Chain A
Amino acid sequence: MRGIRFFGLTLALVGLVASACGGTTTPGATTSAAPSQTTVTKDLIIGFTASQTGAQNVTSKRQTDGIQLWVDDVTKVGGIKLKDGTVLMPKVKFYDDESKTDRVQALYTKLINDDKVDFLLSPYSSGLVKAAAVVTEQNGRLMITAGGADDVTMEQGFKGVYQVYAPGSKYLVGAIDLMLKLDPTIKKVAIVNEKDSFSASVVAAANPYAKSKGLDVVVAEGYDTGTTDFNPFINKIQAASPDAIIGGGHFEDGTTFAKQLFEKRVNARFVALLVAPPEPTFKDIGDAAQFITDRYVAKYNSQPSYQSSGGYAAGLVLQKALEDAGSTDPAKIQAALDKIDLMLFYGRVKFSLDAKTHGKQVAHDMVYVQWQKGSDGKLATQIVWPSDAATAPAQLRK
């Protein structure tokens, strides 16, 4: 069998600069109440939905695990301590949204009106985030989105939705830069992506960017969410003989797409897929990540993914906002979120204050990882871009 080295480049949404700086926010290691103050301990109920079933269940579970890990870590250090002496003990309340938008809308309404949760985090995936955002906005509630990168959602002028992930428009642009740095002779690129809001927003930015770099986009086509047979797309790709393939969508479809590309021995020299290539080993980003990784591995017996880190980071952002606000008053927390400029293990977090794009992530950058064989012959992820954060040089198929 001719050995094709399949370069699944994924977008590990981890903060590249943060890892170098070691700018970890230690959960709970925050403000202490003055000795004279009376300590009042209150539960802080954080509501969200998780896709325990359906198309998003693998990645959504990772996000939920990340959130839960943050809750555990905060609980271990005695909760979130506010300046007035109040100690908040976070607890999660979540339901299975079955990866369906109608379930998300019903369940966020329930979380707000029936369960009366204190704060909301988002479901995983842009489509579900969008559905949840509409409900939280209508109810005048704050929500930190852990798993939604879609630009469009964050350009609706929402007042209370804050995006932790980098916007989708940034996702594949860097992959194109990396590709051209590796081989400036690459001319033809095929773009095949899932037709959901997130992937569409990624491609809406990547396609013109590729053209602006002089690339010829020889295939540009979307596939429906839930597609399992990629052969029609792959036959088109093979006929067009592109040097590179970029696109994908989420875990299930991206994994299947990658598998079928491999089965058909597609000759592209560079493949960059969104989200799907299996979870990056978080340890690659250094000591800051190690802090989370060790706990995550101990608790879940698996390496954290970028979705796990996104969930944990969302918790940290909420924690920081509560500490800065010194209160659970939503208005004060919203003001604190607006002012946040935070460096986490996850990367920099800062939100747009523009009326139209309020809450959109403006500071978070992307890194790209590639599965490479190590000297021991085992596959492992390596950060390959940007170059100043790379743990190994990127490899192209010869």
Chain B
Amino acid sequence: MSLEALLPSAIDGLMLGFVYGLAALGLTLIFGVMKVINLSHGPIIALGMFAVFILFSSFGVNPYLGVVAAALVGLLLGIAIYFVAVDRVIDATELTTLLATFSVNLMIIGVATVIFTTSPRSIDIDLGALRAGNVTILGTHGVAVAVAVLVAAALYGFLFRTRTGKSIRAVANNRAAAELMGIDSRRMLALAFGIGTALAMTSGALLATLFSFTILSGGTYELKSFVIVVLGGLGNPTGALVGGLVIGFLEGVLTVFLPVAWVPVVEYVIFVAVLLLRPAGLLGARA
């Protein structure tokens, strides 16, 4: 295959990698803070897609305002899910919390399939494009990257610069010690779950501005998020962002040399290889 495809493919992949990283950030934040593997991550991404879609198609709300609304809904939804499904099993084994979030997954998919059906939807939005030779950067993709970077930066600012963010990190590092310092750990865990869910819904909302989707589309991005999180280091937000970029870049570049259908195979080989050879991921777990 001609190397002429390399540059546009790499750019496309990297740009998508930012959104993948954002989705993985939500998953890894929840794991990093409370050691819960959130199996409702995929349906929540899909809910983000539908939040933007409904606001846009039914109320004429600009899709990017819809992204903000999706994030806010995600925050509240995440806090609700925490208190309904996670809080009472937070001290149980990881398998128990895994099953708790899996049940949330089934409930969301079940109800949302009845409401939205599995029919494909899309948001028709045209922001123009930058073109140079074989490279075309669509405006929608550019905005998605910008939003992903802004959200990631805001998250870092929140976690490292605010008292509440520092409290979340304290709970993540040592919950008992944080409680001894007067931090309401239950509140922080709920907030962390809410933020993780908001990140997932934000990534879903951004993906909805790029591609068509169904209520089942979140599953693909959930699987990608797991690969990214393991690659970057479980519980490590920086690792999730870097992992997202690596997976996005690989997706782009590999398609130049391999049939596109082989890309997921390579991704899962990487997933297994990292688990076997470097289980802490590229940047180490829970940094």
Partner-B contacts on A (CB < 8 A): 52-55, 57-58, 98-99, 195, 221-224, 226, 228-229, 231-233, 235-236, 238-240, 252, 256, 263-265
Check B162 for interface membership: any CB of A closer than 8 A. no
Given A232-B255, A265-B136, 14 other A-B residues pairs in contact with their CB atoms under 8 A: A54-B214, A58-B119, A221-B259, A228-B213, A228-B217, A229-B210, A232-B12, A232-B251, A232-B252, A232-B260, A235-B9, A235-B12, A239-B2, A256-B212
Contact partner of A240 (CB less than 8 A), chosen from B2, B131, B213, is B2
Digitize B119-158: 1 where CB-to-A-CB distance is under 8 Å, 0 elsewhere: 1101000000101001010100000000000000000000
Q: Which residues of A contact B252 (CB under 8 A)?
A: 232
- Give 11 pairs: A residue, B residue, CB < 8 Å, sorted on A: A52-B117, A57-B119, A222-B259, A224-B261, A228-B213, A232-B251, A236-B1, A236-B256, A238-B4, A240-B2, A252-B212
**B8–A235 touching, CB < 8 Å:** yes
**A263–B136 touching, CB < 8 Å:** yes
Digitize B1-26: 1 where CB-to-A-CB distance is under 8 Å, 0 elsewhere: 11111001100100010000000000
Partner-A contacts on B (CB < 8 A): 1-5, 8-9, 12, 16, 117-120, 122, 129, 131, 134, 136, 138, 210-214, 217, 251-252, 255-256, 259-261, 263
Bound CA span A373–B255, Å? 36
**A55–B120 touching, CB < 8 Å:** yes
Ranked 6 nearest A-B pairs via Cβ: A53-B117, A239-B5, A228-B211, A232-B255, A239-B4, A239-B2
Distance in Å: Cβ of A134 to nearest Cβ of chain B = 23
Bound CA span A263–B126, Å? 9
Distance in Å: Cβ of A268 to nearest Cβ of chain B = 14
Q: Which residues of B contact A238 (CB under 8 A)?
A: 4-5, 8, 134
Contact partner of B5 (CB less than 8 A), chosen from A99, A226, A235, A252, is A235
Q: Which residues of B contact A195 (CB under 8 A)?
A: 261
Q: Which residues of A contact B256 (CB under 8 A)?
A: 235-236, 239
Q: Which residues of A contact B119 (CB under 8 A)?
A: 53-55, 57-58
Distance in Å: Cβ of B111 to nearest Cβ of chain A = 14
Q: Which residues of B contact A224 (CB under 8 A)?
A: 261
Distance in Å: Cβ of A242 to nearest Cβ of chain B = 12
Distance in Å: Cβ of A266 to nearest Cβ of chain B = 10
**B2–A229 touching, CB < 8 Å:** no
Distance in Å: Cβ of A141 to nearest Cβ of chain B = 28
Distance in Å: Cβ of A90 to nearest Cβ of chain B = 28
A251 closest partner in B (C-beta) = B120
B4 closest partner in A (C-beta) = A239
Bound CA span A263–B128, Å? 9
Q: Which residues of A contact B120 (CB under 8 A)?
A: 55, 252
**A233–B260 touching, CB < 8 Å:** yes
Bound CA span A226–B53, Å? 18
**A229–B211 touching, CB < 8 Å:** yes
Bound CA span A263–B12, Å? 13
Q: Which residues of B contact A229 (CB under 8 A)?
A: 16, 210-211
**A235–B261 touching, CB < 8 Å:** no
Distance in Å: Cβ of B11 to nearest Cβ of chain A = 9
Q: Which residues of A contact B16 (CB under 8 A)?
A: 229
Q: Which of A231, A238, A240, A256 has the most CB of B within 10 A?
A: A231
Bound CA span A263–B129, Å? 8
Bound CA span A259–B118, Å? 21
Distance in Å: Cβ of A68 to nearest Cβ of chain B = 19
**B8–A263 touching, CB < 8 Å:** no
Distance in Å: Cβ of A232 to nearest Cβ of chain B = 4
A54 and B136 contact, Cβ closer than 8 Å, known pairs A221-B260, A235-B8, A239-B2? no
Q: Which of B122, B138, B212 has the most CB of A within 10 A?
A: B212
**A54–B117 touching, CB < 8 Å:** yes
Bound CA span A265–B131, Å? 9
Bound CA span A99–B1, Å? 35
A266 closest partner in B (C-beta) = B136
Q: Which residues of B contact A239 (CB under 8 A)?
A: 1-5, 134, 256
Q: Which residues of B contact A222 (CB under 8 A)?
A: 259, 261
Distance in Å: Cβ of A243 to nearest Cβ of chain B = 16
**A236–B5 touching, CB < 8 Å:** yes
Distance in Å: Cβ of B241 to nearest Cβ of chain A = 20
Distance in Å: Cβ of A188 to nearest Cβ of chain B = 12
Bound CA span A301–B96, Å? 53
Bound CA span A221–B258, Å? 10
Distance in Å: Cβ of B228 to nearest Cβ of chain A = 17
B217 closest partner in A (C-beta) = A228
A99 and B260 contact, Cβ closer than 8 Å, known pairs A231-B12, A235-B9? no
Bound CA span A229–B12, Å? 10
Distance in Å: Cβ of A245 to nearest Cβ of chain B = 15
Bound CA span A264–B12, Å? 12
B140 closest partner in A (C-beta) = A263
**A98–B255 touching, CB < 8 Å:** no
Q: Which residues of B contact A52 (CB under 8 A)?
A: 117
Bound CA span A256–B212, Å? 8
Distance in Å: Cβ of A203 to nearest Cβ of chain B = 14
Q: Which residues of A contact B118 (CB under 8 A)?
A: 53-55, 98-99
Q: Which of A98, A195, A224, A236 has the most CB of B within 10 A?
A: A236
